[in-house]
Each structure stands twice: as structure tokens, then as C-alpha cells.
């Protein structure tokens, strides 16, 4: 019956169009089938859900339409438009009380997704429409809906007045029903009228205390209504206070009105202002408004829930917000972690926490780190549920099974990289050792960790030894250190130092000497292996250099052969200067087709750059000084050193020392400089201790003098792998801007792009002298802001320059062959030039053409480069 009713609404065409209607219906059914098939493959396609709902509504299939709407609502929060469309369809079909109760359920679900003044107004009007013979009960139900609407949206500066006015009109209508039809008025009726008037006046007072747009008209209406209350000074006072507040926030409201769909930065400025005012209810309402326009911003949700947890600390408010947050941004592991901790904080059941964890695991995070962080949060919850002073066997067994499940999940999904440092297994081992007093189980777990590719890592052995020292015994500690010395290859010095410190604290003199003897024996073997590795690497590097030299020589030979010019080949192979002098002493003429000699070109002698003897001596002397300054590789110093690159040229040793002041004491800083004493942008930092290098590496990409610095291990140059410090793939949250005016500063770039979202980093590329190169990189906190910035700023004119803005997508760097030092012709094509700037030739084109023809003729006669004697014989023969 219901299906037929909807179908009739969409089939009121004339009889002449039956054939056309059949074709449209057939095409519509085909479209529905395609959309359903797409959703079966991937049910998380939001736009496909919307398209399918529209198609089903057009087809009039009510049952399918309801199922599809329910399915979409279970996966996504619905927008105001989708909810109103759904609810109005059901309202048109609701007749019985049961059907109307179902509409009320839909309203209750709708108002939980987002703040919507329109939805609350529709809900209130529907409640008024349901008023019947129940009398006072129906009135109370309507008032309850209005009060909830006022709490939710009554502080909305631009739309809240609609709710207040609807509430007042509802109460005025009730007042009209209380007015007597004749002059006979009972005392009971007068009391009812008085109570109703007071209720309306109270609504006026409450509204006038809230800064809302067009509140002046509300105050005028209040003065016109009632003759006593308008003289109440309290009403005037609260109105003036609210009106003054409205003037303060009007610029923010205007900025929101002018802003494009992504208004995150505008809202954030507005919220910061309200936080200074210190009104929690207004801040909460403002966050709700921001969420409506930025529902996919996980950062905005995180800020919202953090504010609620710090300021309100009310479970009935915080938990629903978390639930909405993870539905809008299921990819944010931070929101899921916060949700789990909030459930624990407010004493929700273990089954609820488990349910939320399983839902989060099914959300499909993009990396193993996110899955691992979620598992650790759930394991923390289970561990805190155990009361170790009571019977806890069942809960402990659940915790152990969860440890195994988490480890297996990460290994199956991501391999050994799923939990590369075995944080979950280390956590498990600590639980067994500390709480369960089960060192055998802890040692078993640590043996599994070491056999998962960590046997040669000193840091893992140190973690194991710390656990053994804390909860084991000295015997196992000594065995562990002995195994570690035999197995560790990356940092055995740290193991040796830890072993000796242990014996110094716990052992006897004999035990300390035994440990020292074993350490010396092992370090001797390790040093021999390191020396062999250095020699082998040096041999391989030398062989590689010889191979490259031979390749360059062969390339030069082939190129010189193709050109047919001995002088070019002599320059490219860098022959001795005596040969060059001999060449210039012998005139080298070319001939035209008739055999006449063509004079040498002007400046042709300059085509080959001949350095002066003084310059050669200076170059040789500088090379000798560089060789003298060469520092021999010391592997022991490298173990406690780090390498810094991408330094600003203005950074000196004191700034670097201050940079690492939080890590440890710096022993030496070797800032690499050029022959003029200027910094080259990289340096070596040596610490006094071995075990602080890892802490120093954690400062990678921190900034010194406003520039990110790359901190890496200090390695032998032959072992060092070259890698580009920035990403080579598409960076959706980073923009590449070119065409900037050279006078633009970093602050100018920030000012131009900060209005589209929160900036993470802005980098203006400059020359060594600090002058801009005309392009920059701008990185936002989220991809949405970057996309909007591209749309709004690409082609924008900045200080008379039209800039080009695009998503950063660096091209893949390919290995390029080293260019040989082969002379290239200048722009005119007449003279041969070296590695200098391209210049125009002043030689007439006729001579250029003649010379080119003569050279071509000579090339046809001989495929190989000729010597001077061959060239002389050729001329004499002609």
C-alpha cells in the first residue's frame, strides 16, 4: 500500500507517454543494479550511497529505500539534507501512533549526528502537530523538545533566534487558549494566565541574554509586550551586555559568512577568542558549528574532545562526541585511543571497550604503527583491569591471549615490519617478570624477540639485560652479557661498557677481570673484521673509480671520433699543455670546395681554455692542502658521533652545541668549511658517551635557525647510502609554489597561504647568500586545506607576479651519466667553446656555412680522427 502511494506520486504522466515512461523505468532499474553491485564490492563509497538513495526514491521502491538509508546510516553520519529528506518522506506516510513514534526515533537519531537548527525546528513542529487529546502531557512533551533544541542550538549566533521565536510563538498560542471568551474569569483561570505570561517573559529574558543576530528587534518586541517587565532594569542590563558581546563577535561571524566551505582556520580563530572569554557552553556550541563544516578534520575533532575532557569532564557529553568523532574520522587512531581511554575513565563495561576495539581494528588503518598503537592501548586497559592482590587467573589468561593475538595480527598483516622493535612482546615480557614473577616466561619471550632479526642489535640486548638485572639474578645477567658480546655487531662497545658497569656494581675483582678479558678478546676480533671491511671497501671503491674512468675515456674517444677533430679530443682527454702549445705553433687552416684556405676564426684560440701557470700552481697547492687536512676514518669515534646536514650557512659551532645541550655533553664539533672559511652546510658532532647517539638521532628534522636539520649516523663514506632527504612521492598535504617575486620573504608566503588551513611548515628556497630562488614549499596539517589552497591560489597575482601552485609531486630521480668535459658549440655555431656561458658569434654566416661544408666533406672522406701529418698530406695531395 505504501509502495503504491509513492509510485503514484512519480507516475502522474499522461497516457501518451507510457512508452517513454517504460524506457525511463528500465534505465532507472539498470542504474540501481549497477550502483548496488558497486556497493557490494566496496560498501564505503559515500557518493554511491547518495546516488542509490536518490535512484530508489525516484523508482518508488519504499522497502529498498528504507533498507538503503539504514545501511548508509550505519556506516556514515548523515547530513542535514539527507536526514530531512528521509524524515519528511516518513512523515508523509505516518498515520498511526506507531508510525509517528518511528518518526520520533528518526528525529532522535538525526539530532545526534550534527548540530542542525533546521532539524530541531522540524522536530518541534512535528511534536506540536502530534498534540491531541492528551492535553497537558502533549504540551510538556513539546516543551521538552523546545528546551533541548534551545540547549543544542540556542547559542547559534546566526540561526539560534529562529528556535527562540518558535518557542515563544508556541507559548503565546497556549496563552491564547487560556483567554476567557466572556467576562466571567475564575481565580484558577487567572493563575494559569499569569503563569503562562511569566513563562513567555522568562523566554524573552533568556533570549535577550544571548548575543544573537537581529536581537534589537527582539528587544523591541519585548518592550511592546507587557507593561511591567519592560521597566525591569535587570532585563536592560543583560540585553546591553549581550549586545556588547555581539559587537565583539560580529567580525568572526562575517568572516565565516565570507569564507569558503573549508573554514577550519576561521573557526579556530573564533574558538580561541571564545576561550579567552571563558564561556564553556558557547565554546561547545562553536565547536559543534565547526564540526558541521569540517566533519572530516580529525584535528578539529581531537581539539574538541580534548577541550571537553579538560573543561567539562562529563561522561554524558564526552562519550557521545567520541562516538561521533570515530564515525566521521575512522582513520584517526588518536581518536580511537582517546575513545577507549574515555570508556575506561568513566567505568564503561569491558564488553563495551572490547566492542569498540574490534570496530577500530576493522576501520582499516593505513600503517602498522597505527594498528600497534591501538593494540597497546587495549592491552593497557586489560592490564589495569587486573587486581594483582585478588584472584586474577581468568583476566590474566585473557591478557596473555590478547598479547598473542596482537602480535600475530601485526605479523600476518605487515610481516616483521608490523612490530619492528617488538614493543608488544617487550611489554608482555615486562608483565611476566614484574607482576607474574615468571622470569622463565619472560626469558622465553625475549629469546623469541632476539630471533626475530634482533640478535645483532646492541639496543635489544641492553633492554633484555635491564629486565634481567631488575627481576632476574646475577648469574643470568653474566650469561646474557657474554651472549651479547658474541652476537652484537652494530654497537658492541655499549655492551662492553654495560657489562663492566654491572661487574663494578655487583661483582668481585675476579669477575670484573674475567669480563674485561672476554671483552678485550672479542673487541680484538671485531676490530680485525672492521679493518678488513675498510680495506675491502677501499679496494672496491678504487675498482669502481677505474671503471668509471675507463668508461669516460671510451665515451670521449667515440665522441671525438664522430666530430673528426683532434683538437676536441685533446681538450676532452686533458692532454699536456706542451701539446697545446705545439698545436698553436702550427697554423691549422681549413679549405673550401675549391681548395682555397679559409682564415682561422676570430677567438678560435679561445675555444680551448688554457689555464695560466700561476693558476695551476695555486690549484695544485690547494689540492695538496686538502690532502694534508684529510682526517683518517676512526670507527671508534664514529660510534659516538652523528652527522648533520642541511644546515644553514649561518649556523656556527655554538648554535650546534646548544642544539644538542638537552641530549648530552658534546666533545667535539667538526663543521666542514670551504677554503674561504665558509660553512658547507654539514658537520660531525662527537659526544663524550656512547649511549646518547640514539637520543641525538631522535632530533632528526628538528630546526636550527628556522631550517630543518637532518641527523644521521656517522658512517664510513664507502658504506654510506645516498638518499634524498625529502619525499619523492606525491605529498597531498604539501604545495609547490613557483613564480614568486624574488623580493618575497617567508613571512609573505605564510600570509598568502595561512587563511586556507593550519600550516605545518613553510620553506622558501634560497641561494647561499639568502636571496630567494622564486619558489617555495608550503605544507598543511591536512590534505583538505592543501587542496583548497591550490584551487584558490593557483594563478594568483602576488606583488605583480602570477604564481603557480600545485600539489608537491617530485619526479623520480634517475641515475644520470656523468657529463664528460666535451666542448660545445656556441649559439651561433661557429666557434667551439668550453664550459662557459653561451655567447653569440660575430662571424658572418657565409663563412660559417663554408666552414661547415668543408668540415662535412672532410668527415665523409675519413671516419677516424686524423693527426697533423695526415692532414698535411691530404692538403699536399690536393
pLDDT at 317: 93
pLDDT digits (tens, 9 = 90+) for 472-498: 999 999 999 999 999 988 889 999 999
Give the bridge partners for 685, in sequence order: 642, 669
pLDDT digits (tens, 9 = 90+) for 720-732: 555 545 555 678 8
Distance CA 793, CA 211 (A): 35
Scan for cell 611548515, then name that residue: 761
**The C-alpha cell that represents 508 in the structure block:** 668481585
Which residues are within 8 A (CB) of 106 and not within 5 positions of it... i.e. 6 or more apart? 83, 86, 87, 90
pLDDT at 848: 44
For 733, the enclosing helix (H) or strand (E) is strand 731-738
Burial 489-516 (b: 16+ CB within 10 A, else e): eebbbbbbbbbbebbeeebeeeebeebe
Mean pLDDT of 580-594: 48
**The C-alpha cell that represents 369 in the structure block:** 604503527
Q: Among 134-138, 370-374, 514-518, where is mean pLDDT lowest? A: 134-138
Which residues are within 8 A (CB) of 627 and not within 5 positions of it... i.e. 6 or more apart? none
pLDDT at 802: 85
Phi and psi, residue 570, nearest 5°: -65, -40
Which residues are within 8 A (CB) of 71 and not within 5 positions of it... i.e. 6 or more apart? 43, 49
Listing DSSP states for 223-258 in one string gives HHS-SSGGG-HHHHHHHHHHHHHHHHHHHHHHHHHH
Distance CA 371, CA 423 (A): 12
**The C-alpha cell that represents 39 in the structure block:** 556497493
Say yes or no to pLDDT of 16 above 80: no
Say yes or no to pLDDT of 715 above 80: no
Mean pLDDT of 220-226: 82
Longest dimension (CA), the chain: 145
Tell me the percentage of the chain whose pLDDT exceeds 90: 43
Say how many CA atoms lie within 13 Å of 65 toward its Cβ: 20
pLDDT at 726: 53
Mean pLDDT of 318-335: 93
pLDDT digits (tens, 9 = 90+) for 406-428: 999 999 989 888 898 999 999 99
Scan for cell 499522461, then name that residue: 14
Mean pLDDT of 571-592: 46
Say how many CA atoms lie within 13 Å of 169 toward its Cβ: 11
DSSP secondary structure letter of residue 77: P
> Whole-number mean pLDDT of the chain?
80
DSSP secondary structure letter of residue 508: -
Say yes or no to pLDDT of 93 above 60: yes
pLDDT confidence tier of residue 3, bands split at 50, 70 and 90? very low
pLDDT at 453: 87
Please choose, from the candidates 487, 442, 437, 441, the residue with its C-alpha nearest in 3D space to the C-alpha of residue 467.
442
Please choose, from the candidates 109, 134, 107, 135, the residue with its C-alpha nearest in 3D space to the C-alpha of residue 121.
107
Mean pLDDT of 622-628: 39
- Look at 432 and 582; give whichever has higher pLDDT: 432
For 39, the enclosing helix (H) or strand (E) is helix 18-41
Residues 61, 88 contacting (CB under 8 angstroms): no
Say yes or no to pLDDT of 592 above 70: no
pLDDT digits (tens, 9 = 90+) for 98-119: 999 999 999 999 999 999 999 9
Please choose, from the candidates 504, 530, 531, 528, the residue with its C-alpha nearest in 3D space to the C-alpha of residue 515.
504
pLDDT at 4: 33
Distance CA 322, CA 343 (A): 10
pLDDT confidence tier of residue 26, bands split at 50, 70 and 90? confident
Sign of the alpha-carbon torsion through 71, 73, 76, 80: positive
Distance CA 521, CA 514 (A): 11
Distance CA 507, CA 841 (A): 85
Say yes or no to pLDDT of 318 above 90: yes
Give the bridge partners for 731, in sequence order: 808
SS3 for 785? Answer: helix
Which residues are within 8 A (CB) of 449 and not within 5 positions of it... i.e. 6 or more apart? 422, 425, 426, 429, 460, 464
Phi and psi, residue 738, nearest 5°: -130, 165
pLDDT digits (tens, 9 = 90+) for 48-67: 999 999 999 998 889 999 99
Distance CA 266, CA 249 (A): 12
N residues, the chain: 878
- Look at 156 and 782; give whichever has higher pLDDT: 156
pLDDT confidence tier of residue 192, bands split at 50, 70 and 90? confident
pLDDT at 553: 60
Q: Helices 298-307 and 264-277 sit at what angle, rounded to 10 degrees?
A: 10
Amino acid at each position: 500500500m505504501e509502495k503504491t502511494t509513492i509510485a503514484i506520486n512519480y507516475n502522474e504522466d499522461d497516457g501518451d507517454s507510457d512508452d517513454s515512461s517504460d524506457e525511463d523505468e528500465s534505465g532507472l532499474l539498470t542504474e540501481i543494479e549497477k550502483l548496488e553491485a558497486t556497493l557490494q564490492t566496496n560498501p564505503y563509497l559515500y557518493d554511491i550511497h547518495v546516488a542509490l538513495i536518490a535512484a530508489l526514491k525516484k523508482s518508488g521502491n519504499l522497502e529498498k529505500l528504507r533498507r538503503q538509508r539504514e545501511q548508509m546510516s550505519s556506516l556514515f553520519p548523515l547530513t542535514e539534507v539527507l536526514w530531512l529528506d528521509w524524515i519528511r518522506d516518513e512523515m508523509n506516510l505516518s498515520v498511526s501512533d506507531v508510525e509517528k513514534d518511528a518518526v520520533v526515533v528518526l528525529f532522535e537519531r538525526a539530532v545526534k549526528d550534527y548540530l542542525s537548527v533546521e532539524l530541531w525546528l522540524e522536530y518541534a513542529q512535528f511534536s506540536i502537530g502530534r498534540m491531541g487529546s492528551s492535553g497537558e502531557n502533549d504540551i510538556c512533551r513539546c516543551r521538552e523538545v523546545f528546551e533541548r533544541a534551545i540547549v543544542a542550538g540556542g547559542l547559534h549566533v546566526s540561526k539560534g533566534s529562529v528556535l527562540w521565536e518558535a518557542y515563544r510563538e508556541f507559548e503565546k498560542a497556549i496563552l491564547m487558549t487560556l483567554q476567557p471568551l466572556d467576562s466571567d474569569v475564575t481565580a484558577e483561570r487567572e493563575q494559569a494566565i499569569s503563569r503562562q505570561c511569566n513563562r513567555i517573559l522568562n523566554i524573552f529574558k533568556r533570549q535577550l541574554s544571548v548575543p544573537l543576530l537581529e536581537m534589537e528587534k527582539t528587544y523591541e518586541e519585548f518592550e511592546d509586550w507587557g507593561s511591567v517587565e519592560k521597566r525591569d532594569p535587570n532585563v536592560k542590563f543583560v540585553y546591553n551586555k549581550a549586545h556588547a558581546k555581539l559587537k565583539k563577535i560580529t567580525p568572526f561571524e562575517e568572516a565565516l559568512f565570507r569564507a569558503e566551505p573549508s573554514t577550519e582556520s576561521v573557526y579556530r580563530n573564533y574558538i580561541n577568542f571564545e576561550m579567552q572569554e571563558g564561556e564553556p557552553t558557547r565554546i561547545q556550541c562553536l565547536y559543534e558549528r565547526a564540526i558541521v563544516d569540517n566533519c572530516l578534520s580529525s584535528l578539529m575533532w581531537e581539539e574538541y574532545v580534548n577541550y571537553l575532557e579538560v573543561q567539562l569532564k562529563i561522561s554524558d557529553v564526552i562519550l557521545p562526541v567520541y562516538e561521533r568523532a570515530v564515525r566521521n574520522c575512522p582513520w584517526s587512531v588518536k581518536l580511537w585511543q582517546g575513545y577507549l581511554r574515555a570508556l575506561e575513565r568513566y567505568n564503561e563495561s569491558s564488553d563495551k571497550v572490547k566492542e569498540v576495539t574490534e570496530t577500530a581494528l576493522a576501520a582499516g588503518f593505513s600503517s602498522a604503527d597505527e594498528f600497534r598503537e591501538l593494540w597497546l592501548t587495549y592491552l593497557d586497559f586489560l592490564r589495569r583491569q587486573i587486581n594483582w592482590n585478588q584472584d586474577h587467573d581468568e583476566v590474566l589468561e585473557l591478557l596473555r591471549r590478547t598479547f598473542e593475538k596482537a602480535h600475530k595480527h601485526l605479523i600476518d598483516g605487515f610481516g616483521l615490519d608490523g612490530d619492528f622493535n617488538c614493543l608488544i612482546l617487550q611489554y608482555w615480557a615486562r608483565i611476566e617478570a614484574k607482576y607474574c614473577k615468571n622470569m622463565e616466561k619472560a626469558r622465553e619471550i625475549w629469546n623469541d624477540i632476539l630471533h626475530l632479526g634482533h640478535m645483532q642489535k646492541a639496543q635489544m640486548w641492553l633492554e633484555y639485560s635491564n629486565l634481567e638485572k631488575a627481576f632476574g639474578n646475577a648469574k643470568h645477567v653474566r650469561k646474557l652479557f657474554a651472549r651479547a658480546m658474541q652476537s652484537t655487531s652494530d654497537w658492541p662497545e655499549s655492551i662492553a661498557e654495560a657489562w663492566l658497569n654491572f661487574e663494578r656494581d655487583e661483582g668481585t675483582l675476579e669477575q670484573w677481570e674475567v669480563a674485561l678479558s672476554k671483552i678485550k678478546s672479542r673487541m680484538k676480533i671485531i676490530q680485525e673484521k672492521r679493518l678488513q671491511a675498510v680495506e675491502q671497501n677501499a679496494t672496491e671503491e678504487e675498482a669502481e673509480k677505474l671503471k668509471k674512468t675507463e668508461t669516460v675515456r671510451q665515451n670521449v674517444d667515440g665522441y671525438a671520433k664522430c666530430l673528426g677533430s683532434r683538437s676536441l679530443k685533446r681538450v676532452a682527454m686533458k692532454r699536456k699543455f706542451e701539446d697545446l702549445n705545439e698545436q698553436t705553433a702550427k697554423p691549422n687552416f681549413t679549405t673550401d670546395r675549391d681548395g682555397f684556405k679559409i682564415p682561422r676564426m676570430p677567438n678560435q684560440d679561445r675555444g680551448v681554455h688554457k689555464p695560466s701557470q700561476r693558476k695551476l700552481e695555486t690549484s695544485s697547492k690547494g689540492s695538496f692542502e686538502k690532502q694534508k687536512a684529510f682526517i683518517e676514518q676512526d670507527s671508534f669515534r664514529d660510534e659516538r658521533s652523528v652527522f648533520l646536514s642541511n644546515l644553514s650557512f649561518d649556523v656556527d659551532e655554538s648554535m650546534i652545541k646548544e642544539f644538542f645541550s638537552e641530549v648530552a655533553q658534546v666533545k667535539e664539533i667538526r663543521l666542514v668549511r670551504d677554503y674561504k672559511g665558509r660553512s658547507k652546510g654539514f658537520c660531525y658532532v662527537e659526544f663524550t658517551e656512547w649511549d646518547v647517539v640514539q637520543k641525538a638521532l631522535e632530533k632528526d628534522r628538528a630546526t636550527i635557525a628556522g631550517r630543518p636539520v637532518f641527523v644521521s649516523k656517522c658512517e664510513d663514506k664507502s658504506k654510506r647510502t645516498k638518499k634524498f632527504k625529502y619525499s619523492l612521492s606525491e605529498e597531498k598535504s604539501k604545495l609547490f609554489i613557483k613564480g614568486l617575486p624574488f623580493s618575497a620573504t617567508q613571512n609573505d608566503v605564510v600570509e598568502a597561504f595561512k587563511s586556507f588551513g593550519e600550516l605545518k611548515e613553510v620553506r622558501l628556497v634560497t641561494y647561499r647568500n639568502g636571496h630567494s630562488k622564486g619558489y617555495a614549499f608550503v605544507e598543511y596539517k591536512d590534505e583538505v586545506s592543501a587542496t583548497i589552497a591550490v584551487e584558490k591560489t593557483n594563478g594568483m597575482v602576488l606583488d605583480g607576479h602570477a604564481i603557480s601552485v600545485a600539489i608537491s609531486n617530485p619526479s623520480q630521480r634517475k641515475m644520470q651519466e656523468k657529463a664528460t668535459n666535451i666542448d660545445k658549440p656556441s649559439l651561433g655555431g661557429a666557434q667551439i667553446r668550453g664550459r662557459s656561458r653561451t655567447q653569440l658569434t660575430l662571424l658572418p654566416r657565409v663563412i660559417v656555412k663554408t666552414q661547415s661544408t668543408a668540415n662535412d666533406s672532410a668527415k665523409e672522406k675519413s671516419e677516424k680522427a686524423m693527426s697533423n701529418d695526415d692532414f698535411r698530406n691530404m692538403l699536399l695531395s690536393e
